[in-house]
Amino acid sequence: MKKFVYMFNEGNSSMKELLGGKGANLAEMTSIGLPVPFGFTISTESCNAYYDAGKEISPDVQEQILQALARLEQTTGKRLGEPSNPLLVSVRSGAVFSMPGMMDTILNLGMNDETVEGMAKLTKNPRFAYDSYRRFIQMFSDVVLDVDVFFFEQLLEEYREKHGYNSDPELTAEDWQEVIAGYKKIVKDRTRKEFPQEPKEQLFLAINSVFDSWNNQRAIVYRRLNKIPDHLGTAVNIQSMVFGNTGDESGTGVAFTRNPSTGENVLYGEYLINAQGEDVVAGIRTPQPIATLESEMPEVFQQFAETCHLLEQHYQDMQDIEFTVERGKLFILQTRTGKRTAQAAIRIAVEMVEEGIIDKKTALLRVDPEQLNQLLHRRIDESYPRNHLAKGLPASPGAATGAVVFDADEAEQLGNDGKRVILVRPETTPDDIHGIIAAQAVVTSRGGMTSHAAVVARGMGKACICGCEALKIDLKEKQFRIGDTVVNHGDVITIDGATGEIMLGEIPMIEPQLSEEFQLLLAWADEARKLGVRANADNPEDAQKAFEFGAGGIGLCRTEHMFMDAKRVPIVQKMILASNLEEREAALAELLPMQQGDFEGIFEAMQGFPVTIRLLDPPLHEFLPDKEELLVEVTKLQILDPSSAELVEKEQLLKKVRQLDEFNPMLGHRGCRLGMIHPEIYEMQAKAIFYAIAKLADKGLEVKPEIMIPLVGHVNELKEMRQLVIDAALQVQEETGKTFDYLIGTMIEIPRAALTADQIAEEADFFSFGTNDLTQTTFGYSRDDAERKFLQAYIENKVLPENPFAVLDQDGVGKLVETGVKLGRAKKPQLKTGICGEHGGEKSSIEFCYLTGLDYVSCSPYRVPLARLAAAQATIRHEAVERTLQPQI
Ligand code: ADP
Ligand code: MG
Ligand code: MG
């Protein structure tokens, strides 16, 4: 018979796939001798078997569960449902990847009318026994019987009011007994059945519903967001209970072995005295910082600190640990790799190398390149005066500005419409996750640094402030008050998640800077990587940023952006509207010094690093006014001022716009097709490049440009354009007496070019794969239309696994890239190759580029640090791969 159920002493941390993360780590901790309440894990395979059988636990699995239960009873000396000495257990879900708050846990299972009395006698603490029972009824009813907690909370609140109690700890055993009677009535009214008394029935119902919770809405949303496959299934852990709610010598808490926000190497966490389970994370009471445990329970603290150290050394990574203290005795209930901000990830990785816990390569693999985005974001300008409102807990760093909303659904709606909102809540629950995703930031008035909102926000790299108790939220009136200030729904606030500050209005932000640790990690990445990283930059400022962020050159400089400048557009229009070559050349002569100036700026910023310049690419009509707007203007003038000179001018313009109008501009007269028909344009650009180099040569800067001809589909196009550039160089050489060292290559962005790359390589010194257009032309999608109309549906319905404009489609577009490299190198082994689409800044695409043998990737300046790290990771992960070419950059 296949094994479906594992006792905690039968597994270890390498069995995550089978036991889930929680189960595998419980087993591992058991085996290294930590105080873990005993129990067993029902495997993820049982979950899949459950779904395969049409949501039924098979007799095999049932049998194994009962056997494991018997062993648990034997080990603990207690029996499920035995009034004189009852075993109580928790039923905990645990998937392969940790999904915080996504699945439902049931505590105190095994309680019923008889065992509660047994517990009361046994512990001589009736209050505790009845408190546990009512918690169990509420949790079980919510998770398993689908009775909303609202009913229970309402009853409890009414009860407190009636008896003049302010908080739960004031209720006596008798009070809880009364409340329990009320709870049971709620269950009967809502489900038309008595609350299940038979513990084994309770157990199986609970297991079923953990399996069911694998497919609840919030679990599905979380999986989609984190790209966790649906078929993994969840395991179920059955664990004997320990109690943090027996009185003031007990408690429960959560701690990280290092600060998950900054990475600082100090124990970081929170606990609550006389509390059970979720009380800390739920944010109902604001917990105490872990440091106070040291004075309150010195021995327990000492033991806990040692355990944390041991777990960190054992797992060689920062851990997130749940613990409970029962009458002064410490129990560890969970450990997992702690989620952390990018800042913390970097600091922890670097410091663990310095502490000798891990090596540099491991450190490089520890930081998710995608997360680095957080650090390259802007921060609040400190010098700007702030209208400070309040301060909460700095739960997740980053700054954000947005309009206040109080409802997750509304946050989602407005966020999806492109509005910037900040979600303000008393506390958040997993049901708010869609609102958190869409908001710029989250603020809560209750809950600590490990509350749900904080954990989720840190995971997403979103700014978050928690436990801001000065904030009095009135959900009905849709406003909050801080002192005398009233902030209404829709008002703009700014928050700083690194300091916990909430400010009124919008505050300017400043550019990011790389911390010392970050620079060190990137320096290690540069040592490790065998793939060049360049940046796409169209102007000297971007080039400067790229250089600061460590780009080894510019992989794509788009010259049309130089034409779009407001001062230049009229001259560009003059050039386009010219009725003969003479007029056109006159306009081009005006543009030439401007282009030359731009090139000089970029070359200077890059200080001799290679720069790839692409000659003009977009169709000319992009530089002219919109056809429809022009038509309206002309029509107006025809009526209002029919004899004006302006009308004549506008009519002429309209005529030209109509001439240039295309059925399908993406596939129309653009790229090298422009250069073929109007060679004077490319000639001007080529000359501007060489003049710029000649001028810089006088200043002692040597520049070796790479001139790129876009949109080549047939080798003859490249042949002709190449000759044009060579002629321009010769002309400038004659005029200036300087000689030039340069490369001429092409952007591969038409499938035909990739398929005939051997022919094209004869005329090219380099290939740069323009994967934005190559994706458009391979799929036959126009990106704007696709993203606006159907791509989202395709991704949601899993027709496509990802947006191919964000993540390179390796099967299709990737095959063309591979073919292009292979054919090109077969003809010209030294052919330089790179990628310059947006994919050049995406980690999985970067890995693909590495494996395909490209020399470099090029991406936006802000993604350069990310790309350097991703390139290092690809190199480390595939150490066995031989590189045919060393990167030149
Ligand atoms: P989650 O995955 O949402 O963190 P857990 O299964 O870890 O859910 O449990 C929720 C809470 O209940 C945690 O605080 C945990 O420590 C507590 N808990 C779980 N099992 C037990 C147990 N056997 N005894 C005491 N507390 C428990
Ligand atoms: Mg947990
Ligand atoms: Mg293109």
Over the stretch 789-806, which tens digit does the pLDDT of each residue have?
898 889 888 899 999 998
Looking at residue 452, what is its pLDDT? 79
Separation CA 596–CA 619 (nearest Å): 22
Looking at residue 887, what is its pLDDT? 46
Kindly give the distance from the C-alpha atom of residue 751 to the centroid of ligand 3, in angstroms, as a whole number: 12
What is the token pair recorded at 125? 């603490």
Asked whether the beta carbons of 78 and 123 are under 8 A apart, the reply is: no
Asked whether the beta carbons of 210 and 91 are under 8 A apart, the reply is: yes
Find out whether the beta carbon of 92 lies less than 6 Å from any atom of ligand 1.
Answer: yes
Which residue has the CA at smallest separation from atom 22 of ligand 1? 241
Mean pLDDT over 644-661 rounds to 90
Kindly give the distance from the C-alpha atom of residue 775 to the centroid of ligand 3, in angstroms, as a whole number: 10
Find out whether the beta carbon of 334 lies less than 6 Å from any atom of ligand 1.
Answer: yes
Q: What are phi and psi of 44, to 5 degrees?
A: -65, -30
Best residue for ligand 1 mutational test, from 26, 78, 107 (most atoms within 8 Å of Cβ):
107
Report CA 93 to chain centroid distance, whole Å: 24
Best residue for ligand 1 mutational test, from 98, 128, 278 (most atoms within 8 Å of Cβ):
278
Looking at residue 203, what is its pLDDT? 97
Question: Per mean pLDDT, which range of 224-228, 305-309, 392-396 is the poorest?
Answer: 224-228
Which ligand 1 atom sits nearest the alpha carbon of residue 93? 6
Mean pLDDT over 771-777 rounds to 96
Q: How many CB atoms lie within 10 A of CB 408?
A: 22
Q: Helix crossing, 569-577 with 645-660: angle to 10°?
A: 70
* Burial grade of 788 (CB within 10 A; 0-12, 13-18, 19 or more): exposed
Find out whether the beta carbon of 105 lies less than 6 Å from any atom of ligand 1.
Answer: yes
Separation CA 806–CA 348 (nearest Å): 29
**In this model, does residue 785 exceed pLDDT 60?**
yes
Mean pLDDT over 519-543 rounds to 94
Find out whether the beta carbon of 107 lies less than 6 Å from any atom of ligand 1.
Answer: yes
pLDDT in tens, 565-574: 778 888 999 9
Find out whether the beta carbon of 324 lies less than 6 Å from any atom of ligand 1.
Answer: yes
User: What are the C-alpha distances in Å from 467 to residues 278, 279, 281, 501, 769?
Assistant: 16, 14, 12, 12, 50
User: What are the C-alpha distances in Å from 250 to residues 91, 115, 271, 325?
Assistant: 21, 21, 10, 5
- Higher-confidence residue of 564 and 697: namely 697
Pick from 391, 376, 398, 419: nearest CA to 464: 398
Q: What are phi and psi of 127, to 5 degrees?
A: -60, -45
For residue 109, give every residue at least 6 positions away whose Cβ sits within 8 Å of its Cβ, in sequence order, or none: 88, 89, 90, 91, 136, 140, 199, 202, 203, 206
Q: What ligand is nearest to the CA atom of residue 239?
A: 1
- Higher-confidence residue of 573 and 727: namely 727
**In this model, does residue 888 exceed pLDDT 50?**
no
Looking at residue 103, what is its pLDDT? 63
Mean pLDDT score of the chain: 92
Which residue has the CA at smallest separation from atom 14 of ligand 1? 277
Which residue has the CA at smallest separation from atom 26 of ligand 1? 277
Which ligand 1 atom sits nearest the alpha carbon of residue 333? 16
Q: Report the DSSP pairing between strands 766-769 and 39-42.
A: unpaired
* Burial grade of 595 (CB within 10 A; 0-12, 13-18, 19 or more): buried
| Residue 95 parent element (H or E) | strand 89-95
Separation CA 75–CA 45 (nearest Å): 26
Kindly give the distance from the C-alpha atom of residue 323 to the centroid of ligand 1, in angstroms, as a whole number: 9
Q: How many CB atoms lie within 10 A of CB 815?
A: 15
**In this model, does residue 458 exceed pLDDT 80?**
no
Separation CA 746–CA 834 (nearest Å): 11
**In this model, does residue 285 exceed pLDDT 90?**
no
Half-sphere exposure of 170 (CA within 13 A, CB side): 10
Please report which confidence band the pLDDT of residue 598 belongs to, taking 50, 70 and 90 as the band edges. Answer: very high
Best residue for ligand 1 mutational test, from 80, 105, 280, 450 (most atoms within 8 Å of Cβ):
105
pLDDT in tens, 77-123: 999 999 999 999 999 999 998 775 556 789 999 999 999 999 999 99
Looking at residue 284, what is its pLDDT? 66
Kindly give the distance from the C-alpha atom of residue 107 to the centroid of ligand 1, in angstroms, as a whole number: 7
Pick from 193, 149, 197, 155: nearest CA to 176: 155
Q: How many CB atoms lie within 10 A of CB 737?
A: 8
Looking at residue 889, what is its pLDDT? 45
What is the token pair recorded at 606? 């890059």
Pick from 820, 822, 835: nearest CA to 773: 835
Please report which confidence band the pLDDT of residue 727 belongs to, taking 50, 70 and 90 as the band edges. Answer: very high
Pick from 716, 656, 721, 719: nearest CA to 686: 721
Active-site positions read 452, 836
Q: What does the angle CA 860 – CA 861 – CA 862 come to, to the nearest 5 degrees?
A: 90
Looking at residue 281, what is its pLDDT? 66
Separation CA 537–CA 384 (nearest Å): 30
Give the DSSP letter of residue 15.
G
Given CA atoms 718, 720, 721, 725 in this order, what sign does their dihedral have?
Answer: positive
Q: What are phi and psi of 171, to 5 degrees?
A: -70, 140
Pick from 106, 206, 200: nearest CA to 149: 106
Find out whether the beta carbon of 278 lies less than 6 Å from any atom of ligand 1.
Answer: yes
Pick from 160, 189, 167, 173: nearest CA to 116: 173
Separation CA 109–CA 80 (nearest Å): 9
Mean pLDDT over 482-492 rounds to 93
DSSP bridge partners of 321: 255, 335
Please report which confidence band the pLDDT of residue 390 belongs to, taking 50, 70 and 90 as the band edges. Answer: very high
For residue 144, give every residue at least 6 positions away whose Cβ sits within 8 Å of its Cβ, in sequence order, or none: 106, 205, 206, 208, 209
Find out whether the beta carbon of 322 lies less than 6 Å from any atom of ligand 1.
Answer: yes
Looking at residue 459, what is its pLDDT? 66
Separation CA 18–CA 832 (nearest Å): 46
Looking at residue 689, what is its pLDDT? 97
Which ligand 1 atom sits nearest the alpha carbon of residue 244? 25
Pick from 694, 684, 702: nearest CA to 736: 694
Looking at residue 380, what is its pLDDT? 83
The three-class DSSP label of residue 462 is coil
Kindly give the distance from the C-alpha atom of residue 787 to the centroid of ligand 2, in angstroms, as a whole number: 39
Please report which confidence band the pLDDT of residue 426 belongs to, taking 50, 70 and 90 as the band edges. Answer: very high
**In this model, does residue 552 exceed pLDDT 70?**
yes
**In this model, does residue 601 exceed pLDDT 50?**
yes
Looking at residue 102, what is its pLDDT? 55
Mean pLDDT over 2-25 rounds to 96
Q: State pTM to two decimals.
A: 0.81
**In this model, does residue 376 exceed pLDDT 90?**
no
Region of residue 583 (left: phi > 0; alpha: psi -120 to 50; beta: else)? alpha
